[in-house]
Amino acid sequence: MYQYDFPYRVRYADVDQMGYMYYGHYARLFEIGRVEALRNLGLRYRDFEENGIIMPVYENKSRYLSPAKYDELLTIRVKLEKLPSARIVFHYDIISENGDILNKGETTLVFVKMENNKLVPCPSNMIEALRPYFA
């Protein structure tokens, strides 16, 4: 398994009139988490796009256990539980300052070649960067 933690400060822009982070903003945290988890492996999502591969989201799920509040410094914990093939599945725990899991998420993305808009398998450099974590 590959796991990576990245901090996120809840902003005024994120919080609704219940004083909770708006439910739709977790998808942004998930994006930040998976991009930074890949960067930590030396992989930049923008390089994939510049090489003609985009990664559209196929499925996104989120379970809201407890609200995130304004100005909290959250931890976005990203987990890859298996090597990607046609799809890549990211799991996330959004964790409060005192260690509680506030939200559990899961995003499935696919790989698409821009020039013909066709599905392709996970690029080999992504698999090679991840392989050591799945030995």
Query: Taking CB under 8 A as the rule, which mask of x and - marks residues 73-112 in contact with a copy of itself?
Result: ----------------------------------------
User: What is the three-class DSSP state of 128?
Assistant: helix
Count residues near a copy of itself (CB under 8 A). Answer: 37
**Binding of residue 23 to a copy of itself (CB under 8 A):** yes
**Binding of residue 59 to a copy of itself (CB under 8 A):** yes
User: What is the three-class DSSP state of 40?
Assistant: coil
Torsion of CA 126, 33, 40, 121, to 10 degrees: 0
Query: How far lies 33's CA from each of 23, 113, 119, in Å?
Result: 16, 23, 24
What single letter denotes the amino acid at residue 75? T
Which range touches a copy of itself (CB under 8 A), out of 62-70, 75-83, 85-93, 94-102?
Answer: 62-70
Residue 1 and residue 80 in contact, taking contact as beta carbons nearer than 8 Å: yes
Which range touches a copy of itself (CB under 8 A), out of 29-37, 74-82, 87-95, 120-128?
Answer: 29-37
Return residues touching a copy of itself (CB under 8 A): 9, 11-13, 15-20, 22-28, 31-32, 35, 44-46, 49, 54, 56-64, 67, 70-71
